[in-house]
Structure 1
Amino acid sequence: MVGVEEANLLLDVTATGRPALRIEAAGRSLLLIRQGDDPVIIARVEDDHYGADYVRTGHYRSPVAPLRAAHTAGAAAGGDTAWWARWAHHFRSELARSRYGPLHAGRWLISSHVPRLRSGLWRWEVLGADRGYLDWVGDWPVLPLRTLSAADDGRVKAYRKRIHDGSLPPVLLWWVSGLVGYVVVDGHDRLAASLAEGRDPPMLALTLVDPEATAASERALVDRYLASEARMRRYPGTAAALTILGQRLGTDLWEATRAEARTRAWPLPGGTPAWTRLAARHAPDLAAV
């Protein structure tokens, strides 16, 4: 795995309507991740709101085209911020032109800054089973949208070799607030290779951000900076401190651009009966709860 150097890429999306890959909800506890007309994940939030039962249907298709060896080798050079930036731009381009992705109107961030998974305080748990439980009390859940390939699968074996030379491309995650966790948008075989090797994969996270919260934070930060600057200028010998204060403002303003928005969910056409029919088809016991 390459060293974690930050790369952050904002993109403003103006397209209207529902994206192909989207969250749909019926009531307060019934969720669906759908791609086109196909259900990908069917989930029911537990009454205690400590987690959710889910089933994976096997209908997921990555919105990112399969990586070619030449592209992977070309983007592998570096291992620094530029390396992350090249991959962030690659995923942005792929998602922007894909007919299967999650982008809808709003501001999005693709970032190598994945604080929940790299804070050192919590670990992350990959939910590899096609049916299981999203536990919101323990580690941060990472939910693949398709079944992970076996450790001896050909593509997984090829990626396992790339882990050792530091050229494994990142796994693209998407923060879904309704599931209180990440789902894997692209890189399922790369994730499987990392798990087989007992290593953390390089990760980029796709997040919807909140421009209004960003603007409010920016105003508060600038007001605080101006007040501190005015106080400091009353005294001699504060030039160095003022420089540090300005640098901190720049860092804080960039952090403000990461203000997360809640993941948008669309009403499930047909409501609860439609969810129940889908669940009955893929997980009868889940529908019967």
Structure 2
Amino acid sequence: MKRATREVLPGGGLVLAVSGRPGPPPLGFEAADGGRLLLRQGERPLMLGRLDGDGCCRDLHLRCLDGHRSPLPPLGSAAMRTRGNWPHRYARWLEESGDGPLHDGRWRLAERTYFAPGIWTEDFVRQWPDGRLELLCGGGWHGVLPLRRLSPPDAPRVKAYRKHAREGTLAPVLLWWVSFLDGWLLLDGHDRAVAALEEGAVPPCVVLARVQDDEKWRKTADEITEAHEQEMARVAERPAHAGLTHQRATLERGYADAMSWLPYEEAHTDSRPLPGGAVAWDDLAGRAMFECPRD
């Protein structure tokens, strides 16, 4: 498999430019008519979702299924105590994994320590197997969705990880940013997340996010540059006044800020058509309800 090109970012993160991967990714979304959604890992369905309600604020009803395989190898105590660059380490493992979401394109991996209030509390989905996401207008939700049943706080692995959380040696969990949820899927570190939360802390995180392809962000950059140059020309034609220098500096600063972030702006999360469409989804949903009755 062709190795991805790496772009190192300030602060220890990186961008992977993935190319040459055949077919769809091992972990990915499929969609069908009527707001039907499926998350599949290989041939195994992991999550069924369906939108409900009218208007812009709708609910996404979920049925989660067992069988998620982490794209990262198991992390023992010794590995966690060996301090290193976690985004780079996770990037290498994701490239080698047959269970992750990587496909051709640019992917950013970076540590994240701050989240808005509520994301790891009321918007951290603890229900299993059924759940409901209350999507805000425009489709957003802004929470964290585990891909397997959470262990209880007194589980042996959680207890062991709580010690690491207290020591500051807990390896970060791996989150995947999904644009149409405006939220994250928890790909690896379910027990580590529970351990950190039991210690009253936000779990340390590495976030995987698809970012804009070069062609798209460069096209946007050209459009922004043209608009900026036109605005600066209009400012130059105005009579001199006391605030002119400040106005120019503000425009230049805004332009520089926009251009610096543009290559790393999140892109839309891909979903492919579900083979068989709504009929296939309904069949999967019926079997899921039979195999995994409501708790």
Asked if the contact 1:123–1:139 (Cα under 8 Å) also holds between the matched residues in 2, the reply is no
Secondary structure in 2 aligned to 1:61? coil
| Structure-1 separation of matches of 2:228 and 2:83 | 39
Report deviation, 1:90.
Answer: 0.9
Secondary structure in 1 aligned to 2:264? coil
Q: TM-score, normalised by structure 2?
A: 0.78
Asked if the contact 2:13–2:88 (Cα under 8 Å) also holds between the matched residues in 1, the reply is no
1:175-199 residue CA offsets vs partner (Å, 9 max, x unmatched): 1223332110111111111222222
Which range is displaced more, 21-30 or 221-230? 221-230
Q: Of 178, 181, 190, which residue of structure 1 is paired with 2:180?
A: 178
| Structure-2 separation of matches of 1:112 and 1:229 | 37
Structure 1 equivalent of residue 201 of structure 2: 199
Q: Of 176, 186, 189, which residue of structure 2 is paired with 1:187?
A: 189
| Structure-1 separation of matches of 2:197 and 2:289 | 27
> Considering only aligned residues, what root-mean-square deviation do their CA atoms show, in Å?
3.3
Q: Of 209, 213, 221, which residue of structure 2 is paired with 1:218?
A: 221
Secondary structure in 2 aligned to 1:283? helix
| Structure-1 separation of matches of 2:208 and 2:37 | 20
Q: Are 1:129 and 2:110 matched, yes or no?
A: no
Q: Of 65, 68, 83, which residue of structure 2 is paired with 1:75?
A: 83
| Structure-1 separation of matches of 2:254 and 2:78 | 40
| Structure-2 separation of matches of 1:260 and 1:28 | 26
Structure 2 equivalent of residue 269 of structure 1: 275
Q: Of 135, 138, 143, which residue of structure 2 is paired with 1:141?
A: 143
Alignment of 1:156-167 (within 5 A): 156-167=158-169
Asked if the contact 1:62–1:100 (Cα under 8 Å) also holds between the matched residues in 2, the reply is yes
Q: Which consecutive unaligned segments of at least 5 residues does structure 2 have? A: 1-9, 241-246
Asked if the contact 1:64–1:186 (Cα under 8 Å) also holds between the matched residues in 2, the reply is yes
Q: Are 1:9 and 2:11 matched, yes or no?
A: no
Report deviation, 1:253.
Answer: 3.1
Q: TM-score, normalised by structure 1?
A: 0.79
| Structure-2 separation of matches of 1:196 and 1:94 | 28
Q: For residue 177 of structure 1, what is the amino acid of its counterpart?
A: S
Report deviation, 1:222.
Answer: 4.7
Higher relative contact order (CA 8 A, sep 6+): 1
Asked if the contact 2:34–2:50 (Cα under 8 Å) also holds between the matched residues in 1, the reply is no
Residues 1:242 and 1:202: Cα distance change in structure 2 (over 3 Å): farther
Structure 2 equivalent of residue 25 of structure 1: 31
Q: Which consecutive unaligned segments of at least 5 residues does structure 1 have? A: 77-85, 235-240
Which range is displaced more, 124-133 or 245-254? 245-254
| Percent of aligned pairs with the same amino acid | 36
Secondary structure in 1 aligned to 2:170? coil
| Structure-2 separation of matches of 1:222 and 1:119 | 32
| Structure-1 separation of matches of 2:76 and 2:119 | 31
Asked if the contact 2:62–2:132 (Cα under 8 Å) also holds between the matched residues in 1, the reply is yes
| Structure-2 separation of matches of 1:139 and 1:20 | 25
Which range is displaced more, 269-278 or 171-180? 171-180
| Structure-2 separation of matches of 1:159 and 1:12 | 33
Q: Are 1:88 and 2:87 matched, yes or no?
A: yes
Q: For residue 66 of structure 2, what is the amino acid of its counterpart?
A: G
| Structure-2 separation of matches of 1:262 and 1:197 | 34
Task: Tell me the number of residue pairs that the alignment of Structure 1 and Structure 2 aligns.
Answer: 268
Report deviation, 1:112.
Answer: 2.6
Structure 1 equivalent of residue 42 of structure 2: 36
| Structure-2 separation of matches of 1:255 and 1:44 | 34
Asked if the contact 1:173–1:186 (Cα under 8 Å) also holds between the matched residues in 2, the reply is yes
Residues 1:253 and 1:168: Cα distance change in structure 2 (over 3 Å): farther
Residues 1:139 and 1:260: Cα distance change in structure 2 (over 3 Å): closer
| Structure-1 separation of matches of 2:167 and 2:248 | 44
